[in-house]
Structure 1
Amino acid sequence: MIKFFRHIRQRLIRENSFSKYLLYAIGEIFLVVIGILIALQINNWNDNRKTERDEKNFHSNVLVDLQKDEEKLKYYEHFHLKRIEYLDTLLTYVRNPQKTMGIEKFGKYVEPIFYTSNPTSYSTTFDSAKSSGAFNEFNEKELLKELAQYYADFVLIENTFESLTRFVENQYEPFMYQLPENYMTAETGALVINEEDVDGFYQKIASVEDTRNISADYNSLLRAPKMENYIIGDLGRSYNILGKIKSRQQVAKKLMHKIKNND
């Protein structure tokens, strides 16, 4: 093709036809410009295809992360619903002195209250795309804003979980340590909800025989005003956490629905 145009140019020069040569030169420039524009268009098209592919992959991976979040939130919801159930049972016995709980039942219901949860957020896909600058090329800006807000709001979950943990450590544990822990048996942890296996711990405690003959006076602890104050404080924090969990679940469902519809 280059040789072809060179031959035409040389022939026009030999013929000394300036007007034809000028017309040819303009035509050649026009063809070069058209070629450049076509090349740029192809390049833009390829870039757009890559961006679309990257954004679609991002949506797919974020959807997986949100589904993991959803499963984790279900666990947190179950954990705190059971916590509220145990606290409610304890409060019933606190406010009804005529009811006898028994040391083994007392142990089963007070033991789960020692446990709290540490929140986890699956934000790897979002954080990675954000740090790489990929968001600048994505089209779904409104979805990105909603995802950014969703992950930023995780701090609300963290704060409420930490509040309960501090409350347990600073109020419940020191209060309960007044009571000898020889009330624990292999069945004491039966109501405990925890992501790690705790059966071995309670079996180990139960396997060590206690020959001290120390009586665990749980009734005096159960009837103490501080126990009622603690239960109500824990209930308040647990309901607060439950509200935050349900709110986050709703946002996660909305985001998943939006991503599925976009794809």
Structure 2
Amino acid sequence: MIKFFRKIRQQLLTENKVSKYLLYAIGEIVLVVIGILIALGINNWNQNQIAIEKENRALANLILDLEEQSNQLVDFISGENEYYESGIYLSEHYAKNKEFQINDTLFSKLNILGARITFKPINTTFQELISTGNIGLIRNEKLRRKLIQFFNEMDRISEISAKNNTNIVDALYNPLLLKSTVFIHKYEYESDYTKTVFKDISNDQNRIFDSESLENLYSASRDVLEKPENALNLFNLIQIRTQMANVQLIKYNELNQEIEALIKEIQLELEK
């Protein structure tokens, strides 16, 4: 092809047809420019297709992460609900009896509140997009902003959850619990989470302790809780722990609703 065009140029120059040569040269330049533009257009189209494929892969992985997070939240909601219900039971128990009456159910409910769940965000895909600078692959600016806000909110909730567990459950509630009550579990726990947490302890303790030794421990616990200041401290911590569970329960339910809405929005984006 190049030889063909060169031959035409030489022929025009030889025949001294300068005007035709100039027209031909201009036409050749135009063809070259058109060829370059077509090549650039094809390259841009290819690059755009690659970007779209990367975006779709990222959106699909975000959906997988969000679905896994939702499944985790279902377990967390079950656990926090049992903490809350245990706290309500203990409050009603005290209101009815004007004291903490020692029995297996009471101890089980108290010890349920000594367990806790630390929320951990499932954000592998999002963190990868941020760390590699590829968050811009998500072209829908509104969706991109929602995702950033959502994952930032999950980090905030995780931090608050960890601090509450450390400052309230570990530092305040459990030390008082161990000083004033018996760590024995004969009660049938309501959720799979607490059954898993306490199953081995329950089996071991029920095997080791007989009724006489348990009664001695119960008597010691009664002596401690008969002191008004000890009962007051335990009552106040039960209220704080119950409120903590309630706040977490509300927040986890809200997160699950946000996840459901985000998944639907991402799916719509993938269908475009």
TM-score (norm 2): 0.85
- Is 1:251 matched up with 2:262? no
1:13-37 Cα distance to aligned partner (Å, 9 max, x none): 2212111111111111111110000
How many residues of Structure 1 are paired with residues of Structure 2 in the alignment? 261
Work out whether residues 184 and 205 of structure 2, in 8 Å CA contact, stay in contact via their aligned partners in 1. yes
Work out whether residues 160 and 240 of structure 1, in 8 Å CA contact, stay in contact via their aligned partners in 2. no
Aligned-residue offset at 1:188:
5.1
- Is 1:168 matched up with 2:169? yes
- Where 2:116 maps in the other structure, the secondary structure is coil
Work out whether residues 104 and 188 of structure 1, in 8 Å CA contact, stay in contact via their aligned partners in 2. yes
Counterpart CA distance in 2 for 1:40 and 1:14 is 36
- Where 2:216 maps in the other structure, the secondary structure is coil
Q: Residue in 2 aligned with 1:221?
A: 225
Aligned-residue offset at 1:190:
3.5
Q: Which stretch shows the higher mean deviation, 221-230 or 42-51?
A: 221-230
Work out whether residues 90 and 109 of structure 2, in 8 Å CA contact, stay in contact via their aligned partners in 1. yes
Work out whether residues 123 and 151 of structure 1, in 8 Å CA contact, stay in contact via their aligned partners in 2. yes
Work out whether residues 111 and 188 of structure 1, in 8 Å CA contact, stay in contact via their aligned partners in 2. no
Identity of aligned residues (%): 26
Structure 1 residues without counterparts, runs of 5 or longer = none
Q: Which stretch shows the higher mean deviation, 241-250 or 230-239?
A: 241-250
Q: Residue in 2 aligned with 1:45?
A: 45
Structure 2 residues without counterparts, runs of 5 or longer = none
C-alpha distance 99-228 of structure 1, shift in aligned 2 (>3 A): closer
- Is 1:107 matched up with 2:138? no
Specify the code of the residue in structure 2 equivalent to 1:172. Answer: Y
Equivalent residue runs for 1:68-79 within 5 Å: 68-79=68-79
Equivalent residue runs for 1:20-39 within 5 Å: 20-39=20-39
- Where 1:190 maps in the other structure, the secondary structure is coil
Work out whether residues 62 and 126 of structure 1, in 8 Å CA contact, stay in contact via their aligned partners in 2. yes
C-alpha distance 36-196 of structure 1, shift in aligned 2 (>3 A): farther
Specify the code of the residue in structure 2 equivalent to 1:240. Answer: V
Q: Which stretch shows the higher mean deviation, 253-262 or 132-141?
A: 132-141
- Where 1:257 maps in the other structure, the secondary structure is helix
TM-score (norm 1): 0.88
Work out whether residues 111 and 189 of structure 1, in 8 Å CA contact, stay in contact via their aligned partners in 2. no
Specify the code of the residue in structure 2 equivalent to 1:39. Answer: A
Counterpart CA distance in 2 for 1:72 and 1:255 is 16
- Is 1:96 matched up with 2:96? yes
1:99-128 Cα distance to aligned partner (Å, 9 max, x none): 985522122211211110011211111111
Q: Residue in 1 aligned with 2:268?
A: 261
RMSD between aligned residues: 2.5
Counterpart CA distance in 2 for 1:197 and 1:87 is 18
Aligned-residue offset at 1:89:
0.8
Equivalent residue runs for 1:192-203 within 5 Å: 193-194=193-194, 198-203=198-203
- Is 1:13 matched up with 2:13? yes
Aligned-residue offset at 1:143:
0.5
Work out whether residues 83 and 112 of structure 2, in 8 Å CA contact, stay in contact via their aligned partners in 1. yes
Q: Which stretch shows the higher mean deviation, 90-99 or 217-226?
A: 217-226
Counterpart CA distance in 1 for 2:98 and 2:30 is 101
Q: Which stretch shows the higher mean deviation, 24-33 or 160-169?
A: 160-169
Q: Which stretch shows the higher mean deviation, 30-39 or 52-61?
A: 52-61
Structure showing the higher helix proportion among its residues:
2
Work out whether residues 100 and 225 of structure 2, in 8 Å CA contact, stay in contact via their aligned partners in 1. no
Aligned-residue offset at 1:233:
1.0
Q: Residue in 1 aligned with 2:143?
A: 143
Work out whether residues 94 and 100 of structure 2, in 8 Å CA contact, stay in contact via their aligned partners in 1. no
Work out whether residues 62 and 126 of structure 2, in 8 Å CA contact, stay in contact via their aligned partners in 1. yes
Work out whether residues 189 and 202 of structure 1, in 8 Å CA contact, stay in contact via their aligned partners in 2. no
Aligned-residue offset at 1:225:
1.3
236, 245, 250: which one aligns with 1:238: 245
Work out whether residues 123 and 151 of structure 2, in 8 Å CA contact, stay in contact via their aligned partners in 1. yes
